[in-house]
Structure 1
Amino acid sequence: MLLPALGAAEEARPGAALGLGAAINKAGRQRMLSQRMAKALAMQVLAVMPDKAGSLLEQSRRLFETQLRELATLQPNEAIRSNLGELDRQWALYRELLGRPRTADNLLLVLAESEKTLRLAHALTGLYEKQASGNAGHLVNLAGRQRMLSQRMAKCFMFEQSGVGSPALKAELEAARRDFVAALGELNAAPENTPEIRIELGLANTQWLFFDQALNGQESNRTIAQRNVATTSERILEVMDGLTGRYEQLMRG
């Protein structure tokens, strides 16, 4: 499933200043996109829905660049200004690699640059969260990180399937799985949850069961197993993106 409306719920009106909640959301979404683009590249190599993977990669690339421009409009301190500059330079390197031929050497470089991009985007999200008062900013960051973890798990799975990647991929997938389950528990228990948020959390819990089952690789047909991970990772991403938007609304409210 492709998500043409990904992030549409909290887009700022034309000419409107970017709010702090939206900044935490968008910076957090950059983390996810760093992993999603690498996942899409591996899908192309594996011929897992290659046309859709190409569309997903291009959509993610455009959204990353759009959000970089939007985040540049909210630079309340030097640490955020510095991080945005680093992220912009890192993105230029990553974007160039994403356009190279899908060789084994280039895929290894993409894997490395996806990690560097992720680290900078994660640091930026934390810097924005520090500007927020109360717990709502933390919840936006936490829910938003679930989007990244969904794509990170799928990325590790796809790279491992392709035979291109580091020996640590399986360990990284399991670490991301543990982090996702722990954060889902924290979100379910958050006292700030509204009835609408609890409904979306119910969807997230259900989609996690499907995604976790796909990641476990119980499907004997390799092609079907890869496709299952590709589709379920997008479904849970969609739910977690909507949930992150709900927590952002708490900050605006």
Structure 2
Amino acid sequence: MTCSNPTVVPWSRQRRRLVQWVTAGVVLPTWAATVQAQMALSAAINVSGSFRAMSQRMAKAYCQQQLGVMPDAALEVLTKARKQAQVGAADLAKGSTAGAWPAELSRQLEEVQKQYSILNTLTAVAPSKASAVAVAEQADRMMVAAQTATEALEKLARAPSAKLVGLAGRQRMLSQRMAKHYFLMAAGVEPKASQTQMNADAAEFKQALQALAAAPVSTAAIRTELDLGQAQWLFFETAMRRNPDAQGMSAVATTSERLLEVTDRLTSLYDAALREVLG
């Protein structure tokens, strides 16, 4: 999930914005010596963080298939996630090959790939209730590995605003994990535990929306996307409250994908904003 190059703005505007962001604690005084490294880290946080969402999205789509909920669309989601993982792995491998990451971080990124490989194999099997449970559990292992790697990348970043990229990216994962647990409840898999996780994720999602809205890093595009995210969240939240019948499950499937699209764009916008101030 990479972003396009930000629009070039006059140096005078960049300088004024830089002063504002430094005052807000967005970058440290030593930024000039580490601009390229910080920009690379911002992109890596975005990509590493996307593996969190991919893990839950794949499990969600697999559960959809098991339940017979929009199976063709679910298969398309799985295919897209696999392609996305291949691209993301290649992007992160460039940093490891170039020796840009510490040895421990490289090991953590390799662990993400290992857990993805297992998940990819599991989702290739025809879905059943037992295999859906196995996929959901493996998705969580992959998500934990990706979270660990993403947090390690955030610690390397000298710009505190890089954490916003990770925070926005985590919203992608939460949207998919809530949908996954909705489908697990529909399948009769530990409904109480799934409901508890959904409630916790919903609370975290809403809190993160507030934190992003209050963050000093903001552009017109970010504010617009935050408004869209809030609106789409309401649609998704309403869908999750429905009984898991055919209509309810279809509503969750579609609104979770729309919420993912918004949070993905928002993550890329934070990445682009950070690159602009650094570049």
TM-score, reference length from structure 1: 0.90
Give the whole-Å Cα distance in 2 for the aligned partners of 1:10 and 1:162: 40
Deviation at 1:101, TM superposition (A): 2.1
Give the whole-Å Cα distance in 1 for the aligned partners of 2:129 and 2:45: 35
**Structure 1 unaligned regions, length at least 5:** 1-6, 12-16
The counterpart of 1:31, out of the listed 47, 52, 56, is: 52
Query: What residue is the counterpart of 1:65 in the other structure?
Result: 86
Indicate whether 1:201 and 2:195 are aligned.
no
Deviation at 1:61, TM superposition (A): 1.3
Query: What residue is the counterpart of 1:161 in the other structure?
Result: 186
Give the whole-Å Cα distance in 2 for the aligned partners of 1:166 and 1:216: 14
Conserved 8 A contact 1:136-1:248: no
Query: What residue is the counterpart of 2:207 in the other structure?
Result: 182
Question: Which sits farther off after the overlay, 195-204 or 166-175?
Answer: 166-175
Deviation at 1:60, TM superposition (A): 0.5
Give the whole-Å Cα distance in 1 for the aligned partners of 2:118 and 2:244: 36
Give the whole-Å Cα distance in 2 for the aligned partners of 1:134 and 1:63: 27
Query: What CA deviation, in whole Å up to 9, does each residue of 1:74-106 have, x standing for no partner?
Result: 231012111022122222211111111212221
Conserved 8 A contact 2:2-2:46: no
Q: Which one-letter code corresponds to 1:9 in the other structure?
A: C
Q: Which structure 2 residues correspond to residues 136-147 of structure 1 after superposition, within 5 A?
A: 136-147=161-172
Conserved 8 A contact 1:79-1:127: no
Query: What residue is the counterpart of 1:9 in the other structure?
Result: 3
Give the whole-Å Cα distance in 1 for the aligned partners of 2:201 and 2:43: 25
Indicate whether 1:233 and 2:256 are aligned.
yes
Give the whole-Å Cα distance in 2 for the aligned partners of 1:22 and 1:169: 32
Give the whole-Å Cα distance in 1 for the aligned partners of 2:2 and 2:92: 16
Give the whole-Å Cα distance in 2 for the aligned partners of 1:78 and 1:117: 20
Report the CA distance shift for 1:166/1:10 in structure 2 as closer, same or farther (over 3 A). Answer: farther
Count of aligned residue pairs for this structure pair: 240
Indicate whether 1:212 and 2:237 are aligned.
yes
Q: Which one-letter code corresponds to 1:25 in the other structure?
A: N
TM-score, reference length from structure 2: 0.82
Give the whole-Å Cα distance in 2 for the aligned partners of 1:177 and 1:69: 32
Give the whole-Å Cα distance in 2 for the aligned partners of 1:205 and 1:42: 26
Conserved 8 A contact 2:182-2:244: no
Question: Which sits farther off after the overlay, 165-174 or 235-244?
Answer: 165-174
Q: Which one-letter code corresponds to 1:242 in the other structure?
A: R
Conserved 8 A contact 2:66-2:132: no
- Among all aligned residue pairs of Structure 1 and Structure 2, give the percentage whose two residues are the same amino acid: 38
Give runs of ≥4 in structure 1 deviating > 6 Å: none
Give the whole-Å Cα distance in 2 for the aligned partners of 1:189 and 1:138: 14
What is the root-mean-square deviation in Å for CA atoms of aligned residues?
Answer: 1.8
Query: What CA deviation, in whole Å up to 9, does each residue of 1:163-201 have, x standing for no partner?
Result: 235741111111111110110110011111112211111
Query: What CA deviation, in whole Å up to 9, does each residue of 1:121-158 have, x standing for no partner?
Result: 01111111112122221100000000000000000001
